[in-house]
Structure 1
Amino acid sequence: MRGDDYHRLPTESSSTLNLHNNNTSTNNNNNNTHDNNLPLNPPTYFEFDNDDDADDDNSLNNNNDHNNRHHHQHNALHESTSTPSIEQFEIEEPEFERRHGFINRASAISHKFANNINSRIIHPVTRIIDPIYEGYKYLQMQYEKSILKLGNPLVVKRLLYVLIMMILIFGISKYSENDSINGGGSTTFSKGKFYDIEKLSSSINQFINPKSMKENLEYFSSIPHLTGTKGDLLFAKYIEKYMKSNGLHSVDINEFQSFINYPTTNTYLKLKDGSFEAKLNEQNSQEMQYSSFNPNALSTIDEIEGNYIYVNYGREEDFANLQNNNINLEDKIVLIKYGGDIPESNKLFYAQNYKVKAIIFISPKFNDQDDIIQRENVGLTRFSSGDILTPGWSSENGYVTRLSWDKSETTPKIPSIPISWKDGSKLIEKLQNGHKFDDYVSGDGQSPILQLNINNINKPVHPLWNVVGSIEGREQGDKGIIIGSSRDSTCYGTMSSNTGTVAFLELIKVFTSLQRKFQWVPSRSIFFVSFDATEYNLAGSTEWIENRKEALRKDGYLYIDMSDLVTGDELYINSHPFLRESIKTSLQKVKIEGDKTMADLVHDIKDEFLDFKNYIPFINLVNIPSLEIKFRGLKYPKNSCFDNFKNFENLNLDKSMLKHSQLVELLSKIILDFAELPLIPYNFIDLANQLIQYENDLEKFTQSITQNLKVKPIIHFDGLKRALMTLKDVGEKYNEWAHEWKQFIVQSGGLEPPMYSAMRGMWNNNMIDFNNRFLTKELTTKRSGYKNFLFGIPFSAPINSNEFVWISFPYVRDYLQQHDFSSAQLEIDNLASTIEDAAIKFLTL
């Protein structure tokens, strides 16, 4: 481990950084300032040359000689010796001519030349033009006589002028041909679009370069980039340069401050009798990225010791089973496996309620490797994502109010550390008696004594970096799509972050290439954001949102998440109901082999959004409809140094980068629709139908909660059902208007009157305002990171359960799980009122 891996880094400084490219890789082999962590010869990567920064160091040296020159002026009367021509006037200076004979001769020659031009060219041309002019005068006279016969000459002339201009404009728009996709032409607008989206869409493939993505993936996987370290800043600078080189606007490294912790070699876990000591690093390396720790974990002040107990996956029912078997958990160190169906941070929350002293997380095996150590966040995301010391407000300014550790709802209150399966299984095998979990017993509290010391280095205020660039919209530029990719990793991050990052960069290249080739500008803006600190409680995305919350609520209408993009063969789509129609249409346009399209790979579009991803703050803080599309299905050593390029190749996940290319093409088509279609392609009928299904699911969930109660509460859903039918009716009325608008555009030959244009803009505004109405107006809530009461995550929602639709009506489900049935009924009534009110106001223009 090197001590300078986590010191505060200046964002703007580049003295310690080496951004690799084709032109410098050879020269860097002998560069004495090169960082030993970075590869000397990274693979080549695609970028545009940018010579804008070349400086011209030449300067002009003006040395003037100051000589004393005396000029004598003589005043004399000049008498003209010739009569000047009437057509030519000259101002002569006789004295000047006498003293400057050369200039005088030059003047005479120029006069002679001018006279020759006049006599040999101008006069003959005039003689030719005169008859033509006479003919023009005759025709003009006949034209005036004709106009007088028709009526008022002024009115008739204006009408004829308008007619001629209309014919001219029609001819230009109809017969002009070039590579640009014209926004005003009738051939495009008559289809109900501003630009020919089909032509744009069909050109996407020519800009996708699998070789470039493969080279970037290998390069990114060659350098560890733990949040807030040199490797992390290196990639932030790399992405900034890539964005600028490809022509994005307003490119910026957005620095913010957050709590960060890093591991040290002073941490240990061993049995007091000396028979066991855990190996708290991977691959026998003492480098920081190989060391064991949990992001956002609490350290121990002094060494702690105690008996240990195995608690399976650490679910609430696992703790309850031990308590029911009279196994005391107070002041015990507990062993808990990673995985299961709840976040690791929830496991700490349940454990601290049972007064557990510390938690040892056991990493799973990967194939036959049992020495893998996973590093998982333990900040309590289900209360609030983001910086754990500023829950609910932005930490972008380094001087904002920060809570002490014990006052924050998102900090863990007991220490934790991960170990490998190899070491964890040795400890479990020493346990006897107790409750049986699968093939292992919990122990009865009479185990050997464990000694634990966790000595992480804590940085309460540490710089982190989001990288932001945009393509500005031409018509509704304030409205925007956000495409987000997690950049940081706990080690090399090949599959967890890099697969998404390389496709993210390829998307940038696709859209800027479309701009250059077709002189295209989208109707609404597209924002590309590389998020830092994803592994630290989603700090990068959350702090970015919290610093611009009102603007995002007003103008954001789609978020696309690009994390762990390719980790298997199963095409998985997680989508808000608003987006499904556009997704299905785009799936049918991406061919995979023969007549098959990507639509043949999809069995069902999910609506889960429960995993540890950057879509969590977008949904729960600002209610922006979100989308996640990826290939998944294979287990991989996530958040471990075994998540590297070598294992990516050995798993044969995507050696040809075909899956990456297909996803880039599919996402590009979806983004085109949402950025360019005149009306944002939300489908309100799909939303209403889906919410009706969610309401049925909520009734079933209520029955499952109340079925074993002695006194069953009565919960009424009639008001909610009526509100959803109102929403469906409103959706049908909107569809009728959208159909009429498109028909009018077709019939008018592509002309949109200002009134229709204004109405279309108001419909788009109302769509976004509809989303905003489901965010609570309460300043304080039980969970500060969860403001959305239509879609969101209940605190105890399982991650991998298909039993219920957990993402819907989260406030109601929370109250039902707490058996607070009166509050649940109030929340159902509030939902019904809000849905009906939002539906009615959506129709108000």
Structure 2
Amino acid sequence: MRKIHLLIIFCLTLFVCGIDLDPNRAKTQSVLINNVDGLKIKENLIAITAEPHVAGTPQNARVAETIANLWKRAGLEDVRFKEYKALLSYPDYKNPNHVSIIDKATGKTYFETNGTSPVIIPSEQSTPGANVQWLAYSGNGTATGEPVYAHYGREEDFQTLKAAGVSVKDKIVIIRYGLVYRGNKVKLAQKYGAKAVILFSDPAEVAKDGTDPSKTYPNSEWMPSGGVQRGSLEVGPGGDVLTPLVPAIKDGYPTLTIEEAYEKQIIPKIPVIPLSYGDAYHVLSRLSGKAAPNDWQGGFNFTYRYGPGLDGQNFVLKVDVNSKLEIRTIRNIVGYIKGAVEADQYVILGNHYDAWVYGSLDPSSGTAVLAEVARAFVKTMKQTNWRPARTIMFCAWDAEEYGLMGSTEFIEEFEKQLSERTVVYLNVDSIKSNDSFAADTIPSMFQQVIETAKLIPNPMEKEIQAGRTTLFDTWFNTFPSKSIPNHPDYPVMDIPGGSSDMAGFLNYVGIPVIDFKYRNATWTEYPLYHSLYETVFAEEHIFDTKDFAVHRALGQFWAELARSYADKTIVPLNVTIFAEQLVYSYVHDLQKVVKTLANKHPEIADAANQVEKFAAASERLFNRVQDLDKQVQNDISIAKWYSNRVSKTERCFINPNMSPGQPQARHLLYSISEKNVYAAATMSHVYDIVSEIEKATDVNTRKELGVKLARAIALVQYGVNCFINQFDDVI
């Protein structure tokens, strides 16, 4: 039966998704792809990364002007700024933060960090203050105490410490970067009573080939011993800390005070500091206490210990942080190529432009490519007399690094208009490596994303020599997927998380999104992440040495994907593939879990019954979209009607009742983890209740949770019903 479904999908979607409003599509496509120029991307990158540009600073305002001028010269229409007022955080650049080992009896200092990273490429990294090590929204002040090592700072790590008899209350907690968002680590440490937190990069993650200088930057992509990861510690709904869920406009009014933000643990009160592995060595190697488990060990050649305390009875740690909070202006940049047929329908391309330092990888690699995509589009229009049918909107977001602020404020201000007008949102945060293209997206976009990747020439010569001539070939070879029903020839495409500006578009408004990049196959985050060493040297001499060919390939993909969504008669959102994923993956997996639970605990029978109703509704949806495909095949006159309905179906899964404790998390199917802002989950509000049932120890509690689970499943079912109703002419 599934083979028959696959054949039907293949035949019908070829027809439905393959019609272009441009009669000269092949020529337009070819000209557009060829017009993207790698060397012009390099020129843009050099201009954008001339100085550090933290959000809210005069330097970042200058970068915004540079981008706006690039867009205007390219020929974009109505280029403008959209300003907001946001609570931001800054260090004292003249008085860097420090960690010290001191003798509490005598006050003598045995070791002290200098709070800065060494400049390695003076021509690119010598701006005063650029090398200061800091974390946004750290509490201001000094803390002295015994250190405790808490591994990655997850809930299970704190529970391991508790089981070992190690308390973190009133301790300075040392946590390793990785696996989860840094803000979630600090929030947990504060919850368990820590008086300060040190975050460090372990050589096991950032210097896997060894810490000898010959094996690290500038000789490779691995972090040198003095490098640190900067970043934000904000853990909230996204956007301005003081105006959650409403836009931070000039004449608005804050919905929170700073003290309330502290109370809600959106930002930490305790001092937090990042350490390089070179400095962390001096602290970790002196830790006393029990040896940590094997899986807590890292890249240093000594045994990692829990603590508390340091070798030497009187030694303690001291953390000094100089941090301030200020309300400052942030500015998004918006520009357009107006559509010739459906000008009020937007295909949005977005990237943020603020950076922690120079930001040549994150985000300026994407910023430079976006400006070149704009130039290539306008040049193609002049050469071919073509204009996209739908409007292409270009967005450069500010203050993303602080907590997706620019894009979130924009979404909060224009939620209704974006919901009505936006077809898709296409995001690039950064280009991190030259191993492979990768994409996070939702099932309805799978087919068009893959078709586009097959059109783009492979930028890597070694891959071409191996017979992999397109972007898609390397992608599938590097990240093959076995989990997409009926599509063994698809590569991995995960659900987008909360790590970049696509989050609000999908999770708050229900707009189809994609976030794509070039990345390394063996790590999810690149070693030089948010460090001083993200300057043009990294791209030009380490991973994109052939005329910025990797940047060009990503730009070619971005441009052609945007053209496809802007020009096809029927917006290429494949609801049949979505229905497949719903029936054969989401529903199938949930049925197995709930059935197993119900067999063990009969008191959750309501949930077991509801999941079967959910399954039946999902099967009806699957059958309905196949019938619709046949209708469009037989009557092309309904193409516009069909396209309009398809482009709004994702909105059916937006429900503010999904998670009252997380009002920004409104998508019933795809949501962001409370425990890790970077991660996405499918039906997390459902599976969280399943987890509670598994942990419950009495019948009455399980019965209450079973009712709660049935209601949560029903919410998703209402979204499925809405999806079906979307194609009815009467209600």
Normalised by the length of structure 1, the TM-score is 0.71
- Report if the CA contact (8 A) 1:471-1:526 is conserved: yes
Write out aligned runs for 1:180-219 (5 A).
193-219=21-47
Could you tell me which residue of structure 2 aligns to residue 60 of structure 1?
Answer: none
Write out aligned runs for 1:38-53 (5 A).
none
Write out aligned runs for 1:277-356 (5 A).
277-283=112-118, 287-300=128-141, 303-339=142-178, 341-356=179-194
- Report if the CA contact (8 A) 1:730-1:839 is conserved: yes
Question: What's the % identity of the aligned pairs?
Answer: 23
Deviations 1:42-100 (A, max 9, x none): xxxxxxxxxxxxxxxxxxxxxxxxxxxxxxxxxxxxxxxxxxxxxxxxxxxxxxxxxxx
Query: Which of 270, 273, 276 is the equivalent residue of 1:414?
Result: 270
SS at match of 2:387: coil
- Report if the CA contact (8 A) 1:730-1:840 is conserved: no
Counterparts of 2:255 and 2:452 in 1: how far apart (Å)? 45
Deviations 1:140-195 (A, max 9, x none): xxxxxxxxxxxxxxxxxxxxxxxxxxxxxxxxxxxxxxxxxxxxxxxxxx966344
Deviations 1:292-341 (A, max 9, x none): 211222223xx3222111111101111000111111211111000111x2
Describe the shift of the 1:779–1:583 C-alpha distance in structure 2 as closer, same or farther (beyond 3 A): closer
Counterparts of 1:779 and 1:816 in 2: how far apart (Å)? 15
Higher alpha-carbon deviation: 307-316 or 401-410: 401-410
Deviations 1:595-645 (A, max 9, x none): 832221222131232251111111111111111222100733111101122
Could you tell me which residue of structure 1 aligns to residue 643 of structure 2?
Answer: 764
- Report if the CA contact (8 A) 2:499-2:678 is conserved: no
Q: Which segments of 5 or more consecutive residues in structure 1 lack a partner in the other structure?
A: 1-189, 743-755, 801-805
- Report if the CA contact (8 A) 1:554-1:768 is conserved: no
Question: What amino acid is aligned across from residue 128 of structure 2 in structure 1?
Answer: E
Alignment of 1:230 with 2:67, yes or no, is no
Query: Which of 271, 274, 279 is the equivalent residue of 2:101?
Result: 271
Describe the shift of the 1:727–1:251 C-alpha distance in structure 2 as closer, same or farther (beyond 3 A): same
Alignment of 1:814 with 2:695, yes or no, is no
Deviations 1:795-841 (A, max 9, x none): 135967xxxxx532132123334444432221112211320232133
Question: What amino acid is aligned across from residue 371 of structure 1 in structure 2?
Answer: G
- Report if the CA contact (8 A) 1:213-1:502 is conserved: yes
Counterparts of 1:332 and 1:687 in 2: how far apart (Å)? 49
- Report if the CA contact (8 A) 1:566-1:659 is conserved: no
Counterparts of 1:470 and 1:238 in 2: how far apart (Å)? 17
Deviation of the 1:203 alpha carbon: 1.0
SS at match of 2:260: coil
Question: What amino acid is aligned across from residue 739 of structure 1 in structure 2?
Answer: Q
Query: Which of 410, 426, 440 is the equivalent residue of 2:304?
Result: 440
Write out aligned runs for 1:387-786 (5 A).
387-397=240-250, 399-408=252-261, 409=264, 410-434=266-290, 436=292, 437-438=296-297, 439-445=303-309, 448-459=315-326, 461-592=327-458, 593=464, 596-603=469-476, 604-610=491-497, 612-633=499-520, 635-692=526-583, 693-699=585-591, 713-714=604-605, 715-716=607-608, 717-742=611-636, 756=637, 759-778=638-657, 781-786=660-665
Could you tell me which residue of structure 1 aligns to residue 238 of structure 2?
Answer: 385
Deviations 1:217-237 (A, max 9, x none): 233333211112222111110
Describe the shift of the 1:701–1:400 C-alpha distance in structure 2 as closer, same or farther (beyond 3 A): farther
Question: What amino acid is aligned across from residue 388 of structure 1 in structure 2?
Answer: V
Deviation of the 1:521 alpha carbon: 2.3
Describe the shift of the 1:286–1:217 C-alpha distance in structure 2 as closer, same or farther (beyond 3 A): closer
Query: Which of 687, 702, 723 is the equivalent residue of 1:838?
Result: 723
- Report if the CA contact (8 A) 2:668-2:719 is conserved: no
Deviation of the 1:779 alpha carbon: 11
Deviation of the 1:775 alpha carbon: 1.2
Deviations 1:493-536 (A, max 9, x none): 11111111111111101111122222222221111001111110
Q: Which structure is richer in relative contact order (CA contacts within 8 A, separation 6 or more)?
A: 2
Counterparts of 1:587 and 1:779 in 2: how far apart (Å)? 35
Q: How many residues align?
A: 630
SS at match of 1:641: coil
Higher alpha-carbon deviation: 309-318 or 282-291: 282-291
Deviation of the 1:785 alpha carbon: 2.0
SS at match of 1:203: helix
Counterparts of 1:242 and 1:818 in 2: how far apart (Å)? 53
- Report if the CA contact (8 A) 2:658-2:715 is conserved: no
Query: Which of 257, 273, 290 is the equivalent residue of 2:85?
Result: 257
Counterparts of 2:492 and 2:560 in 1: how far apart (Å)? 17
- Report if the CA contact (8 A) 1:322-1:435 is conserved: no
Normalised by the length of structure 2, the TM-score is 0.81
Question: What amino acid is aligned across from residue 725 of structure 1 in structure 2?
Answer: E
Question: What amino acid is aligned across from residue 139 of structure 2 in structure 1?
Answer: L
Deviation of the 1:243 alpha carbon: 1.4
Higher alpha-carbon deviation: 724-733 or 591-600: 591-600
SS at match of 1:560: strand
Deviations 1:712-757 (A, max 9, x none): 8454221121121111112112211221234xxxxxxxxxxxxx3x
Counterparts of 1:387 and 1:253 in 2: how far apart (Å)? 18
SS at match of 1:792: strand
| Structure of greater Rg | 1
Question: What amino acid is aligned across from residue 816 of structure 1 in structure 2?
Answer: V
Deviation of the 1:670 alpha carbon: 1.5
- Report if the CA contact (8 A) 1:482-1:556 is conserved: yes
Describe the shift of the 1:243–1:199 C-alpha distance in structure 2 as closer, same or farther (beyond 3 A): same
Higher alpha-carbon deviation: 272-281 or 361-370: 361-370
Deviations 1:661-681 (A, max 9, x none): 222222222111110111111
Deviation of the 1:773 alpha carbon: 2.0
Describe the shift of the 1:457–1:701 C-alpha distance in structure 2 as closer, same or farther (beyond 3 A): farther
Describe the shift of the 1:392–1:421 C-alpha distance in structure 2 as closer, same or farther (beyond 3 A): same
Could you tell me which residue of structure 2 aligns to residue 143 of structure 1?
Answer: none
Deviation of the 1:259 alpha carbon: 1.0
SS at match of 2:50: coil
Counterparts of 2:713 and 2:110 in 1: how far apart (Å)? 58
Counterparts of 1:422 and 1:217 in 2: how far apart (Å)? 30
Write out aligned runs for 1:354-393 (5 A).
354-365=192-203, 366-367=206-207, 368=211, 369-380=224-235, 383-393=236-246
- Report if the CA contact (8 A) 2:587-2:615 is conserved: yes
Deviation of the 1:483 alpha carbon: 0.5
SS at match of 2:645: helix
Counterparts of 1:595 and 1:452 in 2: how far apart (Å)? 51
Deviations 1:446-505 (A, max 9, x none): 77322223221221x201111100112222221111111111111111111111111111
Question: What amino acid is aligned across from residue 618 of structure 2 in structure 1?
Answer: L
Describe the shift of the 1:595–1:429 C-alpha distance in structure 2 as closer, same or farther (beyond 3 A): closer
Counterparts of 1:701 and 1:275 in 2: how far apart (Å)? 56
